[in-house]
Structure 1
Amino acid sequence: MQDTGRVGPEHARKAAELRIFDNPVPTHFLSQTVVNTGPGHRLFLAVPRGTPPKKGWPILYLLDGNAAFDFLTPDHLALVPDLMLAGIGYDTDRQFARERRTLDFTAPDGPGDGIRPDPVHPGRMAGGAAQFLERLTGPLRAAAESGVPVDPARRSLWGHSFGGLFTLYALLTQPNSFARFASISPSIWWDEGLIRRVADRAGQMAAPPPLLVALGDREKRSGSDGPPPDGPAPATMQFMADLRDRQGLSPQVHVLPGLVHIETIAGSLPLALPFAAA
């Protein structure tokens, strides 16, 4: 599925410079490779330089790996010298593969495989989250952890925007797929009714995993008119309250002052990295 880059916000067309790969990082060994697991993915790894614990490294999976590693800095990694990072990206030179992530990060709705036209973005397809979650926890996880001692009980998942929406989907449908979940600026607006139906089907959780949520107080939908809002997205805040009341989750909600949508990627890392390393 080709990403033409002709429409959308400026950051959606931006090339990934990946400057963190320009020089060695004191705390981690860095690598990147293309993984052919069906659709082409790029895998970005940061493996700690030290001696691994007996049970292996804790690992944080970052969706939109091209963008996540574009915002990642050596200072971020210095916060968590004993945490492995795996960026799951796409085989593109851009930060984002918009069509691919729309398909992969949105929940199915209806019979069959759930793939359908995106009701918000003409020309895109949606509803592939179940298939992507299977790919993420199967061949992509196997590729990321190949030859590296990883503690399977300390895997965490981070996602931003549509990736944050997928992170909530993964938590609600397969809460044992990761030990911890970090949902950053989740796109609740895309189909709020759908993600609420996913939550309703999950019901009350007996042992809900830890959930970190971060969002800016100046975020607005791409392409919407008017100035940025003054405060976090009400729909997201209400959804977090409902997850607490109806699913028994205890989300750690952080409002990042002054940050617009794209800025919450970097803004969330000082919170999400120690959260995953805990």
Structure 2
Amino acid sequence: MTAMPRFVSSTHPLVNAAGREYHLRLWRPAAPRSAQGLRSLLFLDGQWLDDTLSSALAESAPAGLQVASLGYRTGERSVIAPWRAYDYTPAAPGERQCDPRSEDWPCGGADALLAFLRNDVLPLLGAAAGAGSALFGHSYAGLFSLYCRERAPTLFSHIYSASPSLWWYWPRMLTLLEAGHGGAEPRRAGGPPVHLMVGGDERWRPKPASPGLPREPGVSTVPMAQRYCAALRELDAPADLEVFDGQAHGPMLHSAAKHALRQFARSCGGLDFKHESI
């Protein structure tokens, strides 16, 4: 007898106001409660995470939880790199609105992406804003997830920020945090819990990688994450930081995604993750 799948998935093509093409993939329990009763965890960069999430959900049965991923419709890194550098970043300080590591990459699209999530993506999850939807982002998307907390503090119930690109015009994000940013929504006391995850072997370098060329040693990103976490706590915001020993930047995407999935399921209460390896 063939076992029934624990989750069923569906894919929704989306296009933002600028014509950027995405796909939203949803995994819902095969025998769910109503969609309105499901807690949701939205992963950014689904083009790289969908296989990892599918494998995790095939092995586990967290009732009452749906998982979503928003990804570009291509996985080609050379194409996506400048898109991510724009979509996931706020306005840069000063007049030059470009990535600090590549002048050819414009920045400052975070508010547009935030509006896209609010108006086009979250309604497809069937969950009211702030009533159980959590957000996960890695690298530039990790930076964006922290920006979402400042700009729209009631939109997400939890923020999972893995390997956030805090080096981006450092200390820009720290300055925005301490200034309160003047977001579109009033700041909620404490705000949503922020879970920071950083690899112990992650390094920041002033130039992006070039295929076939050696890279300089770089600077650890852990101290920046520690400082940001401390600043959150000084503002009485719930925040924690976990350092993944021996993990470099690339592998952290999948390690942190599985960790966030497990932690969010537990935070929902009574959800059954049967395999600790997930």
* TM-score normalised by L of structure 2: 0.79
Question: Which of 140, 152, 155 is matched with 1:177 structurally?
Answer: 155
Moved more, 209-218 or 42-51: 42-51
Whether contact under 8 Å (2:92, 2:169) holds in the other structure is no
Whether contact under 8 Å (2:154, 2:191) holds in the other structure is no
| 1:69 Cα deviation from its structure 2 partner | 1.3
**Counterpart Cα distance in 2 of 1:108 and 1:164:** 16
Report SS of the residue matched to 2:102: coil
- Tell me the residue number matched to 2:193: 210
Whether contact under 8 Å (1:108, 1:115) holds in the other structure is no
Letter in 1 for 2:170: E
CA-based RMSD: 2.8
Give the direction of change, closer, same or farther, for the CA distance of 1:174–1:52 in structure 2 (3 Å limit). Answer: same
- Tell me the residue number matched to 1:117: 98
Question: Which of 72, 75, 80 is matched with 2:62 structurally?
Answer: 80
Give the direction of change, closer, same or farther, for the CA distance of 1:49–1:76 in structure 2 (3 Å limit). Answer: closer
- Tell me the residue number matched to 1:242: 231
**Counterpart Cα distance in 2 of 1:46 and 1:124:** 33
Runs of 5+ consecutive residues of structure 2 not aligned to the other structure = 182-186, 269-278
Instruction: Give the count of matched residue pairs.
Output: 247
Whether contact under 8 Å (1:115, 1:128) holds in the other structure is no
- Tell me the residue number matched to 2:29: 48
Give the direction of change, closer, same or farther, for the CA distance of 1:25–1:116 in structure 2 (3 Å limit). Answer: farther
Q: Determine if the alignment matches structure 1 residue 103 to structure 2 residue 86.
A: yes
Report SS of the residue matched to 1:80: coil
- Tell me the residue number matched to 2:127: 150
Whether contact under 8 Å (2:154, 2:188) holds in the other structure is no
| 1:216 Cα deviation from its structure 2 partner | 0.7
**Counterpart Cα distance in 2 of 1:50 and 1:127:** 41
Moved more, 173-182 or 70-79: 70-79
- Tell me the residue number matched to 1:219: 202
| 1:205 Cα deviation from its structure 2 partner | 5.5
**Counterpart Cα distance in 2 of 1:81 and 1:172:** 31
Give the direction of change, closer, same or farther, for the CA distance of 1:107–1:56 in structure 2 (3 Å limit). Answer: same
Question: Which of 76, 82, 101 is matched with 1:94 structurally?
Answer: 76
**Counterpart Cα distance in 2 of 1:211 and 1:191:** 21
**Counterpart Cα distance in 2 of 1:195 and 1:103:** 16
- Tell me the residue number matched to 1:130: 111
Moved more, 124-133 or 91-100: 91-100
Report SS of the residue matched to 1:72: helix
Give the direction of change, closer, same or farther, for the CA distance of 1:274–1:54 in structure 2 (3 Å limit). Answer: same
- Tell me the residue number matched to 2:243: 255
| 1:120 Cα deviation from its structure 2 partner | 2.0
| 1:193 Cα deviation from its structure 2 partner | 2.3
| 1:80 Cα deviation from its structure 2 partner | 3.0
Whether contact under 8 Å (1:76, 1:269) holds in the other structure is no
- Tell me the residue number matched to 1:160: 138
- Tell me the residue number matched to 2:174: 196
Identity of aligned residues (%): 25
**Counterpart Cα distance in 2 of 1:42 and 1:157:** 16
Question: Which of 33, 45, 54 is matched with 1:64 structurally?
Answer: 45
Letter in 2 for 1:213: L
**Counterpart Cα distance in 2 of 1:200 and 1:155:** 25
Give the direction of change, closer, same or farther, for the CA distance of 1:168–1:79 in structure 2 (3 Å limit). Answer: farther
Report SS of the residue matched to 2:69: strand
Whether contact under 8 Å (2:88, 2:108) holds in the other structure is yes
**Counterpart Cα distance in 2 of 1:54 and 1:117:** 40
* TM-score normalised by L of structure 1: 0.79
Give the direction of change, closer, same or farther, for the CA distance of 1:69–1:44 in structure 2 (3 Å limit). Answer: same
- Tell me the residue number matched to 2:271: none
Letter in 1 for 2:47: N
**Counterpart Cα distance in 2 of 1:157 and 1:45:** 14
Letter in 2 for 1:37: N
